[in-house]
Structure 1
């Protein structure tokens, strides 16, 4: 609650107390008026009682009829003087005297609640309302005990209460009016004084409050202009001094903050440049290492393939002639056996010693096996050359299925059964997919990295007895304008918390010495940056892992920029 409200509430409370005191005083005056009316009624009853006692004491010889007649004269006299209804009853509520003479001698039956009877019994005056044909709205009466001067109750005196009350009220009315006017005046004066006092106090306090709010909102140039010599004036002076000090401190702090902000900005810019330089350096380092690695590997593979290719081609080419020559020689031997069935003993001994029949039967089989082996060597050499792609290093159309098959041929030794695990089964589900424009050698590198990781994951899962039948599934399909290749294994899977870091440089989950953390990172760069595609990992613990490659079938803008 505000101070002005508190002051007004206090003054209003004082005014209310004044009004309450006035009301209590007026109520007391009314009670006094009632008391005076009751006293007058008791006085009348006492006078009549005194009359009756006097008549009984000094006029004992007078008859009851004469005494009642005399009492009736007193009632009539009082009625004429004060214009009030008056009647007297005995203890049995028989009317002894009344303004209405016809009622004398009858029983009082208009007292429904027996108020008169109760007053006769206990002597306590009572007021009640009597309804009659003469007074359809009712008339208020007061019953007072009718006693002798010796205190003996012989009946009751019933008077009209309203005139008595009005007469007493007229006496107290002036005091009531004066009391009410004084209370009302005190209340108005208290309210006016309280309003002026609260206004004189609350106005400067409101100025101070508004200044404090403005100061809290940052308006440090706020000042108050209160020139009074009281405590509020001293408070205003202290506030202005505090505002001056606060504004000075704020200016100093703002200058320091600006200087610090400039230094922080410069440092952040330097750190950002360092971070960017570090990223570029790491990226360049990875590319250099991988380029050197793949260049060396490609040169080695290409050199070996070239060196093997020449003698293999020589052997494979001469095997055809050797087979022809051998068939001719065998035909000549058969002709000799046909036309000279009985050769010389020396020839027969040589025939038996060398088992010419077996040689004739086995030599063609041997030449066929040699041709198959030479053909197999030629296929391996061709796969090595396809994988190295030194003869097709530029961006051109290539068959991805051919690259996958050559990669699988190179990794055949790792797919075979080992001492500590069974053979890894490879299921190829190739769909209809045209040749695409890509860097064939780099795509083979991606296939090599993904298949090598799948083999490592299957070996680890088999050692943990989580994968009794290791399997790699390779599927391909065309989705819209993209070639999509999926390489899936049934190993132990990859936890979700590390899936987001799989393609980060140097991040690896393998033991020390078994991985560099660059394979997936380089594969991601080849797919996304070189070919404008996407590489995604889908895996759940215990459900294996699936790597999805999607690249445009035709060269996009990103791939064209890579070519440039």
Structure 2
């Protein structure tokens, strides 16, 4: 609350207090008028009682009618002198004297609440209101005990109370008016004084307050022009001194801030350049590490494939000659048996010892198995060479289906059932694709990374599922290839694994980010794959994942890199 409001409220309280005191005085004077009217009524009753008792004592031989006649004369005289309507009743409320002579001797009828009867019984004066056809609005009356000199109540005197009250109020009217006027004038003066004083005090304070607000808004040239010699003037002087010091400090601070801002800008630029350099260094380091690993792996695979290929080719090539030689020897033995069916006993014993007939039949099976084994080894070697692509140009048109099949052949041991984990079924839905211009070795690396992650996800899901759930939702990896248009192809690899958590999706392609346990992944697979697809092949690598149901990685690359480069 403002100081002016407080001052006005204070003086308003004083004015209210003055008015309240005046109102109390007016009320007190009104109560005094009532008291005087009551006292006058009681004095009238006492006088009537005194006169009546005095006359009874002087003329004891007087009859009752004469006493009542004198009492009636007193009532009429009092009515004529003071214009008071009154009547006197005995203990039985029989009217003894009345200004209306016709009512003398009758019983009082207008005592509806027995106010007169109560006054006669306990001797206490009472006021009440009488309603009748003549006075529909009611008339105020007062009942006063009518007593003897000995204090015995012999009846009651009933007077009209309103004229008594009005007469008393008329006497106190001047005092009441004077008190009211004085209270009103005092209240008005208090309000005027409060307004003037509050204005005289609050205006300088408002100026100071506005100056402070201007100062907080940065208007440091604000000054206060208050020339009073009181405390507010001293406060204004102190404020002006503070504003001068603050303005001087602000200029100094602005200069220091400008210098600091320049230093911060230079440092931020340096930090930005350093951060960018660090990111490029980390990225280059990760690429070098991965490239070196893949290069070493490719050389190792190519070397192993070459070393295995030579003896396998030697064995596989000689199997044809061995088969011919064995066939000739068996023909020779059979010819010998035909012309000499009964050889000597020593030859017969040796034939039985070596099981000649079984040997002739089983030897062909052994040769077929050896031929099949060497063919399988040659196929594996060809897949290893195809995966490493070390014997081909770095950039050429290839059949990506061969790359996918080679990768699956290398991962064949991961797809087989082991322990409580079921076999992972691979579904190939290959479209009719042309040869794709790409970096075959790097593209095979992408297939390897995505398929390894898919196998890990399916195995993790199987560890959390019951046998019935695995039966209802078989472990499966689906590979789909298709043409998007005449320039782009799409390879989609979907699994039935656990899906990718929502918290990991924003960092999935960041270097070294992994959701696998320690020692199960470096977090480089998807990051390198993303770089190979987007930077090396100008393609897209996206994914769609539903938690608890699986993930699908979608690779889109152009058919001809030269077309994309030209665009």
TM category, shorter: 0.7 to 0.9
Q: 1:39 to 1:434 in 2, by over 3 A?
A: same
- Checking the alignment, whether the CA contact within 8 Å between 2:458 and 2:495 is kept in structure 1 is no
1:267, CA displacement in angstroms? 1.9
Answer whether contact 1:433 1:483 (CA < 8 A) is retained. no
1:551 aligned partner = 555
1:524 and 2:546 aligned = no
Distance 2:461 2:69 in 1: 139
Is the CA contact 2:461–2:497 (under 8 Å) kept in the aligned structure 1?
Answer: no
Cα contact 1:476–1:486 (8 A) shared by 2: yes
SS in 1 for 2:127: strand
* TM-superposition CA deviations, 1:468-511 (whole Å, max 9, x none): x9x98542114773221246789xx9988778766544567676
| Cα gap change, 1:254 to 1:316, in 2 (>3 Å) | same
In 2, the alpha carbon distance for the partners of 1:167 and 1:125 equals 19
Alpha-carbon distance between aligned partners in 2 of 1:91 and 1:539, rounded to the nearest angstrom: 110
SS of equivalent residue, structure 1 residue 429: strand
Residue matched to 2:491: 483
Q: CA deviation at 1:74?
A: 2.7
Question: Separation in 1 of the partners of 2:91 and 2:365?
Answer: 165
Tell me what 1:533 maps to: 540
Over the aligned positions, Cα root-mean-square deviation in angstroms equals 4.8
Aligned equivalents of 2:38 and 2:416: distance in 1?
A: 133
- Native 8 Å contact 1:383 1:409 kept in 2: yes
2:178 is paired with a residue whose SS is helix
Deviations 1:290-320 (A, max 9, x none): 4444445545655665677678667766766
1:12-27 aligned at under 5 Å gives the runs: 12-27=12-27
Correspondences of 1:93-108 after superposition (within 5 Å): 93-108=93-108
Aligned equivalents of 1:168 and 1:457: distance in 2? Answer: 111
Aligned length, in residue pairs: 548
What is the CA distance between 1:18 and its match in structure 2? 1.6
Q: Secondary structure at the match of 1:430?
A: strand
CA distance in 2, matches of 1:281, 1:22: 95
1:224-263 to 2 correspondences below 5 Å:
224-263=224-263
Alpha-carbon contact 2:480-2:492 (below 8 Å) kept: yes
Instruction: Give the SS at the match of 1:89.
Output: strand
Alignment match, 1:174: 174
Matches within 5 A, 1:60-459: 60-298=60-298, 301-302=301-302, 372=372, 375-390=375-390, 392-410=392-410, 425=423, 427-435=425-433, 437=436, 438-450=438-450
1:30 matched to 2:30? The reply is: yes
Distance 1:424 1:91 in 2: 125
The answer as to whether partners of 2:433 and 2:483 remain within 8 angstroms in 1 is no
How many angstroms apart in 2 are the aligned matches of 1:13 and 1:451? 90
> Residues of 1 paired with 2:11 and 2:414: CA distance?
102
Q: 1:220-274: per-residue Cα shift (whole Å, max 9, x none)?
A: 4443332222222222222333333333334433433333333223222222212
Cα distance change, pair 424–300 in 1 and its aligned pair in 2 (3 A): farther
Q: List runs of 5+ in structure 2 lacking aligned partners.
A: 485-489
Question: Contact 1:309–1:378 at 8 Å: present in 2 too?
Answer: yes
Alpha-carbon distance between aligned partners in 2 of 1:108 and 1:140, rounded to the nearest angstrom: 16
Kindly state the Cα deviation for residue 333 of structure 1 after the two structures are TM-superposed: 9.2
Shift of 1:336: 9.5
Deviation at 1:402, TM superposition (A): 1.5
In 2, are the aligned partners of 1:126 and 1:142 still within 8 Å (CA)? yes
Q: Structure 1 556/397 Cα, relative in aligned 2: closer, same or farther at 3 Å? A: closer
Is the partner of 2:379 in helix, strand or coil? helix
